[in-house]
Amino acid sequence: MAERAFDLVIRGGSVVDGSGVPAFIADIGVRNGLIAAIGPNLPSGTEEIDAAGRVVTPGFVDIHTHYDGQATWDERLQPSSWHGVTTAVMGNCGVGFAPCRPEDHDRLIRLMEGVEDIPFPVLTEGLPWTWESFPQYLDAVGQRRFDIDIAAQLPHAALRVYVMGERGANREAATEADIAAMAAIAKSAMEAGALGFSTSRTLNHRTSDGQPTPTLTAGEDELTGIALGMKAAGKGVLQLVSDFQNPAEEFAMFRRLVEASGRPLSFTLAQSARGKDGWKLLLGALEAAVDDGLPMKAQVAGRPVGVLFGLELTLNPFSQHATYKEIAHLPLAERVAHLSDPAFRARLLNEVVDPKGPFAGSALRAWDNMFLMSEQPDYEPTEDDTVKALAAGRGLWPDEMALDHMLSNGGRGMLYHPFLNYADGSLDPSFAMLSHRDTVPGLSDGGAHVGMICDGSFPTSNITHWTRDRTRGPKLGLEAVIRMQTRDTAEAVGLLDRGQIAVGLRADLNVIDYDGLTLHAPSVAYDLPAGGRRLVQRADGYVATIVAGEITYRDGEPTGALPGRLVRGARAAPVAMAAE
């Protein structure tokens, strides 16, 4: 029997190739994990996918995840791999698990628990701790197989504690010797295959016992020293998140880091209710920096960053009620029974509580900015959809409405509180940020916030909402959105061997039923180590996802193929493409 020309042929799809050009009908031939041919009537493949009437895209490149723990115990990096992601970058926001001395294991776990809402027992049981240095961590991850490719960044908090010990955790100023040691480790980490370095300067990031992240007040001399270590290696990107309490001063420092090191930098950009237009000022400063030739980007979200509240989740509007605390330890079914009892319910609803803590005070009972999560999520709801408005329409108090909804579906009903990108009650700021030349989609936090946030589905909602379903403002073209979350994100972190459908690039691909692409409501799974629970979110419409030429998912279900590997460092474009 004659040998087939290709290992896989995707036949007759509408190709949205990631470059931004209009879609075109073509076959795609795959050989040895790479795209070998694009055109009409290609010869047969050993395996074929009929993509007629479907959209074929590059695999999505998600540059902002937190799979640092999950990648050490799990082969399937869900939920991201359910949403067309074929490459994910972890180690963002300065948190991670290497380098780490044995005596600091619990310290880093408490930090990840507080910052990214991954429970202590899950991490204690799940992390094998077969490493101390960052290169050893890469070796540990590099021995594993996954359903997607994964790349790692050096986290500043772990680095600072490793070098400075208790002084680092207590946010003391680094000495020249400390900075030299951190720079040397950063250099060796980049040389070993770290994709970059990340840090956090936000008060939102705290350990589970309430202490600010060790990197909160790190000086410019410290950050510059680390960046110069990366410059010495000639590798790596910088990733930062900040409260921007003094936007001009903070951005100027970020700019100086890039000027001194020559390394590309990205930072988190979102609209905050505390300063509705602050993002515009930062975007203007970013434009000026890029016009001056500096490689800088902002990472933005295509929908509100929102917290989910529910009886199965980390928080709900009654979490701080003494009456609720009486039953908080009980299994869900028993709590539902108590909350459905008229006498207990009346006692709970009549209790007056002064919520403690900045987040609890602003969010747990923010009825005018809280919505009922439905089976088909609406991430751009109107004022008429708020718990406050719905309750008024039914003659109920808002807390009654909230409780009734959480008791639905056996106690699995969820409430949605958007706290970033929704200060004006619309996604117009997200539209402006997504559309800007100097931004890339990010901030999905896949693998993190397992009991409060479920944004690993960003790639799917970016497509469905912005190119097809939006009714409250302008939309974006499908070609533009696909380019944003494939070529643009890949280029932002130096992964030039993927992100487009072009001959010679990796065969990371999605075949999508565009009309049928549907995002479902988040749900809870109890599949983490120690029986831990996490929020997950599924989608219909992914006909096939292909990683390095192997079909990893068919109709949203895993095939068993695990071609994903650790990506060590940046990747150059194939010679043929580089010459174009």
pLDDT confidence of residue 576 = 60
For the domain spanning 6-58+506-578, the CATH number is: 2.30.40.10
Alpha-carbon distance of 488 to 476, in angstroms, equals 16
| φ, ψ of residue 277 in degrees (nearest 5) | -110, 10
Q: CA Rg, the chain, in Å?
A: 24
* Paired residues of 525 in beta bridges: 534
Residue 578: predicted pLDDT: 46
DSSP code string of 137-148: HHHHHHT--BSS
User: Are the folds of 6-58+506-578 and 61-306+422-492 the same?
Assistant: no
Tell me the average pLDDT of the chain.
96
Per-residue pLDDT of the chain (580 residues; tens, 9 = 90+): 457 899 999 999 999 999 999 999 999 999 999 999 999 999 999 999 999 999 999 999 999 999 999 999 999 999 999 999 999 999 999 999 999 999 999 999 999 999 889 999 999 999 999 999 999 999 999 999 999 999 999 999 999 999 999 999 999 999 999 999 999 999 999 999 999 999 999 988 988 888 999 999 999 999 999 999 999 999 999 999 999 999 999 999 999 999 999 999 999 999 998 889 999 999 999 999 999 999 999 999 999 999 999 999 999 999 999 999 999 999 999 999 999 999 999 999 999 887 766 555 568 999 999 999 999 999 999 999 999 999 999 999 999 999 999 999 999 999 999 999 999 999 999 999 999 999 999 999 999 999 999 999 999 999 999 999 999 999 999 999 999 999 999 999 999 999 999 999 999 999 999 999 999 999 999 999 999 999 999 999 999 999 999 999 999 999 999 999 999 999 999 876 544 4
Indicate the SS3 state at residue 38: strand
Which residues partner with 268 through β-bridges? 299
- The strand pairing partners of 199, in sequence order, are 240
Q: Tell me the helix, strand and coil percentages in the chain, rounded to 5.
A: 35, 20, 40
Residue spans per domain, the chain: 6-58+506-578, 61-306+422-492, 307-419
**Helix 428-435 to helix 278-291 angle, to the nearest 10 degrees?**
10
DSSP secondary structure code for residue 307 in this structure:
E
Report domain 61-306+422-492's class: alpha beta
SS3 131: coil
Cis peptide bond upstream of 377, omega within 30: no
pTM above 0.85, yes or no: yes
Instruction: Provide the token pair at 268.
Output: 């988190």
CB-based burial of residue 262 (10 Å sphere; 0-12 exposed, 13-18 middle, 19+ buried)?
middle
Residue 359: per-residue pLDDT: 55
Q: Report the chain's terminal Cα–Cα distance, integer Å.
A: 38
Give the torsion through C-alpha atoms of 246, 247, 249, 251, to 10 deg.
150
- Which amino acid, residue 130? T
